[in-house]
Amino acid sequence: MTTVRIGAGQGFYGDTPDGAIAVAQRGHVSYICCDALAELTMAIMQKDRLRDPGGGFARDLPAFMRALLPITCSSGIRIITNAGGMNPAGAAAAVRNVAAELGISGLRVATVTGDDVTARIDELRASGIALANMDTGADLATIRDRVVFAVVYLGAAPIVEALRQGADVVVTGRVADASLFVAPMVHELGWSWDDWDRLGAGVVLGHLMECSGQATGGNFSGDWWNIPDMDRIGYPVCEVTDDGSALLTKPSKTGGRVTVDTVSEQLLYEVLDPRRYLNPDVVADFTSVELQQAGPDSVSISGVRGARRPEQLKAIIGHLDGWLGAAMIGYSWPHAMAKARHAAMLIDRLAERAGIHPVDKVTEYIGVDSLHGGAADAGAAAIANEVILRVAGRFESEVQARAFPRLATPLALNGPPFIGGGATPQPARALLGVWPTLVPRTVVEQSIEVSVAESPG
């Protein structure tokens, strides 16, 4: 029976490299897959790229590579990452530069492009692809002049091609999270692209590992207080067999916990319909998953079923969506909540008088209802020792967004008794909206390119 061991190295942009280092040192893996992207992350990276055309990829990628390459190159571990974000070519060049700094010559770094369809929007629409909002049905024409990027979720196939070409490190843009992990399974175990059950198993395993420590006790809503050593939590490692069954565990001498409960919670994370979990490579049936405790910090995963992959791929179009202006003021006992509510009313009056009108506005009381909203405990307001009032508005113009928080500053002396905590005006911030849509996979896949270049030496 053929097997492959794959480890998780990153769950989000800004994650610590410590988990990946432990996987590389003690996970006995052949691959480490790093998921750096989310829809919000793409917007952040596009803002970086607008400021600096050489940017647009995860700024922590060089730090990850400096930490990992000395270990992975000596042990033959291959790295797959979507940290390329909006600029995979720039990210791949950064990886080669790090290798050169470390004296590692001949490192084969692959770049996967084709997910960025920003320049093709009008071409796609002219060909009859509406790019309508998949949630609201709205026509793209309503935001076309404000679009700043458009990316499509790719599957595992171009990564498999990069591995076939001998890449030591594969850098991609917006590849679906789980597909990063599916790729080495397909490459090593010889799965075919229409073996839906095995591909479904791969997506389940990728989904379990894509959020780093979240499957090994991190962010666990059960008895989280009993999770050992969360300061050095171990990231998931899976050993996959050619039939798609697997063992999920973590490196030795790391914190965290791998149980049916921790794994089950991650299995349900960000799932709309567990019977039809849509991925570019397959539609996985999460209700078919069988989990069993196989030993200490070891869970077996089997029985996964899959169905034919979707004919359309999800795309995210980012567009300018106004400006954020926010004011924050802190109040203390006694009557902290009453003071904050009165201040919110005063800010509304001042805004009306100044002719400052947000398109949308959120008023929240941090310490009482900012997390739970209307579900917050009604009694919490009466006993709160401290409350931070935050009033945030989305404005059509930067001028109004800058002016709005200044309205609150005089309340430091002119309003309810004040303790500080943010009365200084905050800078206005440009907002990017997200427009989800669908694109036929054929028109995207024909433009995907895989290139491999070696680090100089």
- Span 184-227, pLDDT tens digits: 999 999 999 999 999 999 999 999 999 999 999 999 999 999 99
Which residue reads 């433009």 in tokens?
Answer: 447
CATH code for the domain defined by 321-434:
3.30.70
Q: How many helices (H) and strands (E) does the chain have?
A: 14, 18
With a pLDDT cut of 90, the percent of the chain lying above it is: 85
Question: CATH 3.30.70 spans which residues of the chain?
Answer: 321-434
Q: What is the pTM of this model?
A: 0.93
DSSP helix/strand/coil, 311? coil
372, burial (CB in 10 Å: exposed 0-12, middle 13-18, buried 19+)? exposed
28/379: higher pLDDT: 28
What is the greatest pairwise CA distance in the chain? 75
CA 95 and chain centroid, separation: 21
Model pLDDT for residues 175-193, shown as the tens digit of each residue: 999 999 999 999 999 999 9
- Residue 331, pLDDT above cutoff 70: yes
Sign of CA dihedral 139, 143, 144, 148: negative
Q: How far apart are CA 152 and CA 150, in angstroms?
A: 7
- Residue 167, pLDDT above cutoff 80: yes
Q: Could you tell me which residues come within 8 angstroms of residue 428 by beta carbon, excluding any fewer than 6 positions away?
A: 323, 324, 325, 395, 398, 401, 402
Sheet of strand 246-249, all strands in order from the earlier edge strand to the far edge? 290-295, 298-302, 246-249, 237-241, 3-10, 31-34, 78-81, 169-172, 108-113, 449-454
The amino acid that residue 143 corresponds to is: I
For 31, 47, 293, 297, the CA distances from 61, given in Å and listed in that order, are 17, 17, 35, 29
Is residue 95 within 8 Å of residue 167, measured between CB atoms?
no
Q: Could you tell me which residues come within 8 angstroms of residue 53 by beta carbon, excluding any fewer than 6 positions away?
A: none
Report cis status (omega within 30 of 0) of the bond before 334.
yes
455/370: higher pLDDT: 455
- The pLDDT, as a whole number, for residue 44 is 86
φ/ψ of residue 113, rounded to 5: -125, 170
- The pLDDT, as a whole number, for residue 420 is 65
Which residue reads 């206005």 in tokens?
Answer: 428
DSSP helix/strand/coil, 187? helix
- The pLDDT, as a whole number, for residue 47 is 84
- The pLDDT, as a whole number, for residue 383 is 81
Is residue 363 within 8 Å of residue 391, measured between CB atoms?
yes
- Residue 10, pLDDT above cutoff 70: yes
* Exposure class string for 432-456: b at 16+ Cβ within 10 A, else e: bbebebbbebebbbeebebebbebe
State mean pLDDT over 118-133.
96
* Exposure class string for 138-149: b at 16+ Cβ within 10 A, else e: eebeebeeebbb
- Residue 385, pLDDT above cutoff 90: no
275/375: higher pLDDT: 275
Model pLDDT for residues 400-448, shown as the tens digit of each residue: 999 999 999 899 889 999 766 656 677 899 898 999 999 999 999 999 9
The amino acid that residue 250 corresponds to is: K
CA angle 197, 172, 32 (to 5 degrees): 65
Q: What is the dihedral of CA 43, 46, 48, 54, to 10 degrees?
A: 150
Model pLDDT for residues 18-66, shown as the tens digit of each residue: 999 999 999 999 999 999 998 888 888 988 888 888 999 999 999 999 9
Q: What is the DSSP string of 211-244?
A: TGGGGTTTT-SSSGGG-TTGGGBPPPEEEEETTS
- Residue 169, pLDDT above cutoff 90: yes
- The pLDDT, as a whole number, for residue 248 is 98
- Residue 375, pLDDT above cutoff 70: yes
User: What average pLDDT does the structure give for the chain?
Assistant: 94
Q: Could you tell me which residues come within 8 angstroms of residue 123 by beta carbon, excluding any fewer than 6 positions away?
A: none
Q: Which two tokens stand for residue 233?
A: 């939590």
